[in-house]
Amino acid sequence: MPWNTNDYPDSFKNLEPDVRNKAIEIANALLREGNDEGRAISIATAKAREYVHGDSPDRTKYEAKARGEDWILIKEDGSRAIFKEGTKEDLLQKAKPYVNEQNGILAVYHADGSLETNLYE
């Protein structure tokens, strides 16, 4: 099913409108070429960012991880928290739009410190 500006994958929700619209266009083209949905979404997001922002490999990396009883957002290899919340879900609500606005990459960790996923690559 082709996506449009009113119906698109959840992972496109936090993208800037220009990037989201380009990602929808690219993802639909990839689906027509026979790519599976997950791959189309991933490729479309990266290519749309590159198209709109002229992305370079120098994008800032951020980490969402547990520190004590709290969840924090920090720059990779940083020590100072950008955001601090009581739950992972609350932190991600703030972190995703922030990292997206910074055109960064977000590494999300489990409470045990293992990597869960990377977003916005």
Q: What tens digit of pLDDT does each residue of 93-120 get? A: 999 989 887 878 899 999 999 999 988 7
46-68: per-residue pLDDT in tens?
A: 888 888 877 555 788 999 999 99
Band of the pLDDT at 16, cuts 50, 70, 90? Answer: confident
Q: What is the mean pLDDT of residues 87-92?
A: 96
Kind of pairing between the strands at 115-119 and 105-109 = antiparallel
Rounded to the nearest integer, the mean pLDDT of the chain is: 89
Look at the pTM and tell me if it is higher than 0.75: no
Strands (E), the chain: 61-67, 70-75, 83-85, 105-109, 115-119
CB-CB contact of 15 with 23 (8 Å): yes
